Amino acid sequence: MYLTKEKKEEIFTKHGKGKNDTGSAEGQIALFTHRINHLTEHLKNNRKDYNSERSLVKLVGKRRALLDYLTKKDILRYRAIVKELGLRK
């Protein structure tokens, strides 16, 4: 599997408040970004995998919703996570 327990803990440790902080918006956005990047690479090789394409679109929507929430809640945290992950709008 591409996303092991250790990799998840690493993502949450780096972007959240700790390895067990799975609920923070930054941690979830970082996890979604990792999964989106993985699915994007998968779809480059498997163009007709429509189920994965649908999953990718749903993940992008979830990440966008979290980013919008973070924009309304705390613009400084939003700017920090966008800069850290290299996202753009």
pLDDT at 88: 80
- The 3 state secondary structure assigned to the chain is CCCCHHHHHHHHHHHCCCCCCCCCHHHHHHHHHHHHHHHHHHHHHCCCCHHHHHHHHHHHHHHHHHHHHHHHHCHHHHHHHHHHHCCCC
User: Domain residue spans in the chain?
Assistant: 50-89
Digitized pLDDT (tens) for each residue of the chain, 89 residues in all: 688 999 999 999 999 888 888 889 999 999 999 999 999 999 999 999 999 999 999 999 999 999 999 999 999 999 999 999 999 86
Is the pTM higher than 0.85? The answer reads yes
pLDDT at 18: 83
